[in-house]
Amino acid sequence: MHKAYHAGKVGKEFRLLSGRRIDYLDMQNGIIYELKPNNPRAILQGQKQLQMYLQELQSPAMLQKYPQFKGIQWKTVLDTY
């Protein structure tokens, strides 16, 4: 399922400075996507991951490496399968 998720798009499995990988980062529209199985445990884990990704994308180190991210009001989307 993860392999086909947003396949072939720029931003697929975007690697953060921490080494974590966002399932898909839509830089143009400011959306962080996470894909998880449709069960309560996985959904909770996905919500926590999205918050970690959001914090890291807004960190000074990330903004220094990617100045184009400055001012983006990131939205988060948890997709389930």
Within-domain flag for 78: no
**Which of 7-11, 15-19, 24-28, 62-66 has the least mean pLDDT?**
7-11
What per-residue confidence (pLDDT) applies to 5?
57
Within-domain flag for 44: no
Q: Where in 6-74 does DSSP place strands (E)? A: 12-15, 21-26, 31-36
For residue 8, give its domain range: 1-35
Count of domains for the chain = 1
Site of tokens 């996507």:
33
**Mean pLDDT of the region 23-49:** 97
- Nearest residue to 34 (alpha-carbon basis) of 51, 19, 59: 51
Q: Are 65 and 16 in contact (CB under 8 A)?
A: no
Whether residue 74 is predicted with pLDDT greater than 90 in this model: the reply is: yes
Within-domain flag for 48: no
Say whether pTM exceeds 0.95. Answer: no
What per-residue confidence (pLDDT) applies to 2?
53
